[in-house]
Amino acid sequence: MYTKKGQVALEFLVYAGVFLLIAVSAYTLTYFTQRSEVAIRESQMFKEFGYKFQYAAIVAYRGGPGFTYDFYFDKSIDGKPFDLVYMTVGRNSNVKTVWNGTSSEYVYLYPIPLAQYEPAAGEDCFNPAAGGTSISVDKANGHILLSNEGVKDGNIVIRVHCGG
């Protein structure tokens, strides 16, 4: 009789151990799968978000001298701020966006028409940046204006204004 109870107890512990091992393995697999999917979704979301800044520069450029493009955007993504730089390096102009997501930092460059992207005078939403106009998104209050100033010294000038 006592050996039967011992055998039942031992079988119960073996089954419980196997079940626990399977449960922990399933949890671990699910956790790492979801974590990688979050990173992929964040990357896709931020990449799509940056296209509006590329589009704004293209519209301001094609609008011709005197044209101003006024646009609004979110100041943060998932409650986290991002950086925005309009830059010209050599014969290439780009919009650079940088955002610290949940698991990594995302940096994207979007090609825009070749022009000099200059900050408007007297506005406090700009930060010094090598080769470009870095915009403090928080100070710009999610609102930027791009105005085509025409040709100056052989280059088209696009003036970047903070909407405020």
Query: Distance of CA 85 to CAs 23, 29, 42, 89, Å?
Result: 47, 39, 20, 12
The whole-model pTM stands at 0.73
Whole-angstrom distance, CA of residue 31 vs CA of residue 29: 6
CB 112 within 8 A of CB 70: no
Q: Give yes or no for a contact between 160 and 88, defined as CB atoms under 8 angstroms apart.
A: no
Q: Which two tokens stand for residue 3?
A: 């050996």
Number of residues that this document lists for the chain? 164
pLDDT above 90 (res 135): no
- Tens digits of per-residue pLDDT, 34-64? 767 778 888 898 999 999 999 999 999 999 9
Give the phi and the psi of residue 78 in degrees, each rounded to 5: 55, 35
